[in-house]
Structure 1
Amino acid sequence: MGVLENKARARTFYKYLSKVYDQINPFIWDERMRDEAIAMLDLSPDDKVLDVGCGTGFATEGLLEHVDTVYGLDQSPHQLSKAFEKFGKFGDVRYHLGDAERLPFKDDSFDAVWSSGSIEYWPNPVDALAECRRLTKPGGKVLIVGPDYPNSTVFQKMADAIMLFYDEEEADRMFTKAGYEEFEHHIQQSRPGSPRAITTIAEVPE
């Protein structure tokens, strides 16, 4: 398990990262990539969407271009405080401080569940993926964006020491174990040579 696949250490990490997160993030996960991924959900304005690990609200902002209300959840109060500055506490985003592995919502609560840049910090990603499936209505979609496993052996060792990186084969294993039957992976990249994202979209059976 990587250093940051520990909830307390991850919260401390984001306490400081939240100060510069919006300046760093576009070099790894930019608006074009985000919008391409959101388009995979085929959202309608009245869809109820949960953003798991919403952070400072980068994905939330894109989702609000397609739906009227987004539910944002994060374990870091420091990240959420930055999101409050963007959207306010009582606007189109409804915030929850919580854990991806124990999501505080009833079964079949959402038309779609989104998570980007969060799975790499989940100590038990299969449990969290199963939670996302539990919350999604039959026929709805779950979209997860995580870091693709580096090709270099040196970077692989560094990556494994820090947090979860995974390839399509590992994604197959995790999603299957979490109870998904239909899903597909897409590799996204900001620019040649930059870190790659693995974006998985899964359907919840009706």
Structure 2
Amino acid sequence: MTDQPNRADLGKDPSRVSGMFDTVATRYDTTNTVLSLGNDQLWRIATTRAVDPRPGMSILDLAAGTGASSVALARSGARVTAADFSPGMIAEGRRRHGGIPNLSFTQADATALPFGDDEFDVVTMSFGLRNVIDPKKALAELLRVTKPGGRLVVCEFSHPPQPAFAKLYGFYNDRVLPLVARVVSSNADAYQYLNESIKDWPDQRTLSAWIRQAGWSAVAHRNLSFGIVALHRAVKPAGRLDG
């Protein structure tokens, strides 16, 4: 266990993860844009297109942070629930986007979601599954709250398959990212955890296997930004009964 109270470690103790994200909430979106060299905007667009939100849909955006991704989904006319484990993130999301129609904010634990069975047409999670203490349980919970025939979209950091680019990416994360984080973030230590969690996270094929094991079907993924990020998609089998 780390002695630093303002960052989590790979043990992913829920209270420490939540507390860490509370400390970065106000500058979270700006910091992510700087550290990703603007790629976070492209990743959000790709995720929104994969979700394909439409009027009347019910969408759960889990690990929504301050709601930046949720806003893009709600603009379609879909009913969007932005859920996050961090009360600081939820408070900042409500402050920024509380007046947007069809968008609500809820504090939620990904491993014990406060929603009923078969509630959502689409469930999506961007850059949050990696921070859950039991990601396999979270995938099962997402399956439970999704309607039969409904869809899963997960955007998460992954591992570039091309060795030369993977080496360059590793250099950026190890040497450049910590320096930039100290300038732009409200909690630079949190981004040390970010780097550690990316290295520890499984590759694209392994995460796809976890999704299948949770009960999802039609599992597929595609790489974004040369595999820095992978966009995973799946469908809840029609006629499946949960609960």
1:181 paired with 2:188, answer: no
Instruction: Name the TM-score, length of structure 2 as normaliser.
Output: 0.74
**1:76 is the counterpart of 2:108:** no
Gaps of 5+ in 1: none
Which residue is 1:130 aligned to? 140
Q: What corresponds to 2:33 in structure 1?
A: 26
Q: How far did residue 86 of structure 1 move?
A: 1.6
Structure number having the greater helix percentage: 2
Q: Does 1:40 align with 2:76?
A: no
Q: CA deviation at 1:19?
A: 2.2
Residue 24 (structure 2) aligns with? 17
Could you say if the C-alpha distance between residues 106 and 30 of structure 1 is closer, same or farther in structure 2, counting changes exceeding 3 Å? same
Supply the AA of the counterpart residue of 2:18: R
Task: Report the residue type matching 2:130 in the other structure.
Answer: E
In 1: Cα distance, 2:197 partner to 2:86 partner: 18
Moved over 6 A (4+): 153-156
Secondary structure in 2 matching 1:113: strand
Shift of residue 161 of structure 1?
4.2
Per-residue deviation, residues 116-164 of structure 1 (Å, max 9, x unmatched):
01111011111101111111111111111111136448879x8784465
Q: Which residue of 1 aligns with 2:115?
A: 105
Identify unmatched segments of 5+ residues in structure 2: 2-7, 161-165, 175-192, 239-243
How far, CA to CA, are the matches of 2:140 and 2:234 in structure 1?
12
Query: CA offset at residue 95 of structure 1?
Result: 1.8
Identity of paired residues, percent?
25
Amino acid corresponding to residue 33 of structure 1 in structure 2: W
TM-superposed deviation, 1:61: 1.4
Aligned CA RMSD, in angstroms, stands at 2.6
Could you tell me how far 1:22 is from its partner in structure 2? 1.4
TM, length-normalised to structure 1: 0.86
CA displacement, residues 73-103 of structure 1 (integer Å, 9 cap, x when unaligned):
1111110111011222784322211100111
Task: Give the aligned length.
Answer: 201
Separation in 1, partners of 2:217, 2:98: 38
Equivalences for residues 111-190 of structure 1 within 5 A: 111-149=121-159, 151-152=166-167, 161-162=196-197, 164-189=200-225
> Which structure's CA Rg is the greater one?
2
* Deviation by residue 1:16-44 (Cα, 9 ceiling, x = unmatched): 11121011122435223212221122332
